Amino acid sequence: MSADTGAARHPRGNRPRRLTARMRLTLSYTLFAVIAGTLCLTVVYVGMRYIPNYPLVSSNPRYRSDAPSRYEILQSLLTASGYALAVLTAVGMIGGWLIAGRVLRPLQDLTDAAHRAASGSLEHRIALTGPRDEFTDLSDAFDEMLERLQRSFDAQQRFAANASHELRTPLSITRTMLQVAAADPAGQDWTRLLTRLQDTNQRGIEISEALLQLADLGHTPPELESLDLADTTRDALAAVRDEAAALGITVTADCRPAPATGNPVLLRQTAVNLLHNALRHNLPAGGSVTVTTGADPARPDRVLLAVANTGSRLDPKTVATFTEPFLRGRGRIAEAGSTRRGHGLGLAIVAAITDNHHGELRLAPAPAGGLHVELALPAR
């Protein structure tokens, strides 16, 4: 790397060296003290000029008066004023330096925390104590930023690890099947092997497409148009009808008008993902799914898509993490059958699409078991 490149990457190295903030505050305090003292002494000096200029004498002629004249008084005043200003300047410098150091001490803590964060340590918190002021507000905001950065960084690490695992699994399965077939070509059921290879390859394709879609949602704003969330939900119900029949799950729908503004393709994908999640994480037999659309009872300015299913009892703390990619919690692992397989990105994609539409996604465990999901979008 050249010196020019390094200088461009670190522009602070090109900044001219100035006095520190503490020294500038010290000089400001000192200058204020000197100006205030000078003004006071000037007022006194101007007032002394009105003293009579004739010699002062005693009322008793027998006593000789040694009272000074106005000129002598002014000369003494100027000398005393010089010493007073010198002392005031020294006191202002020392006191200003101490006061500035005490005032700027929280900034040093912020600087140390910023350097730690820049080096990759996000666990440190300033936790500034004392009464609420500008510095404590700044400290609290900085601590909140560090906490959010840490959560985001941890989620990114989990996402990368889980994505690598999910993509490696179908490749490992494919390699194993191919190695077994190569070791014993004559004893293979080639039709069954090709079917399994196609299923495994399709799973890898679905995971890759879901990852690409999840990445695009964070950078590309969707094209919005007027639509009815009820029509979008009916299309999604038609897409999952065969899967629901194969699983033996009863689907009940009440699609009332829900005019909104959004991207029809993304919202259809959202409804399909919610239905897939409700079907694949249901009871082994005799399960049900309830789908409703219409106005949001809690907020008149929003429309609602609600999907509820039966299933095992869920912990509210666990439910709060269901939108994380590749979540694999107890009670959320799909059955081994091909119709119940998932890649753990469905609700994560739903959450990303909801954010892009300025909506709200609410997940709550049903008292009798299962999950209740509500997607609220701004009404048209």
- Tell me the whole-structure pTM to 2 decimals: 0.55
- 137: Cα separation from own chain's centroid: 17
Q: What are the sequence ranges of the domains in the chain? A: 14-121, 148-217, 225-378
Q: How far is CA 283 from CA 31, 48, 240, 249, in A?
A: 79, 100, 17, 9
- Residue 319: pLDDT band with limits 50, 70, 90: confident
Can you tell me the distance from the alpha carbon of 210 to that of 352, in angstroms, rounded to the nearest whole number? Answer: 12
Q: Which fold has domain 225-378?
A: Heat Shock Protein 90 (3.30.565)
Task: Express each pLDDT in 166-193 by its tens digit.
Answer: 677 678 888 888 888 888 888 888 888 8
pLDDT, tens digit (0-9, with 9 covering 90-100), for 354-371 = 888 889 999 999 988 999
Q: What is the mean pLDDT of the segment spanning 147-174?
A: 74
Is the fold of 148-217 the same as that of 225-378? Answer: no
| Rounded Cα distance, 105 and 135, in Å | 10
- Percent of the chain at pLDDT exceeding 70: 78
pLDDT value of residue 337: 45
pLDDT band at 106 (very low <50, low <70, confident <90, very high): confident
The DSSP-derived string for 267-317 is HHHHHHHHHHHHHHTS-SSS-EEEEEEEE-SS-TTEEEEEEEE--S---HH
In CATH, 148-217 is 2.170.190.11:
no
Output the pLDDT for position 4: 46
For 277-294, the pLDDT digits (tens) are 899 889 988 899 999 999
Please, which pLDDT band fits residue 154 given cuts at 50, 70 and 90?
Answer: confident
- What pLDDT score does 344 carry? 67
Written as six digits, the tokens of 91 are: 């006191």
367 vs 339, residue with greater confidence:
367
**Does position 203 have pLDDT exceeding 90, yes or no?**
no
Residue 7 is predicted with a pLDDT of 45
133 or 279: whose pLDDT is higher?
Answer: 279
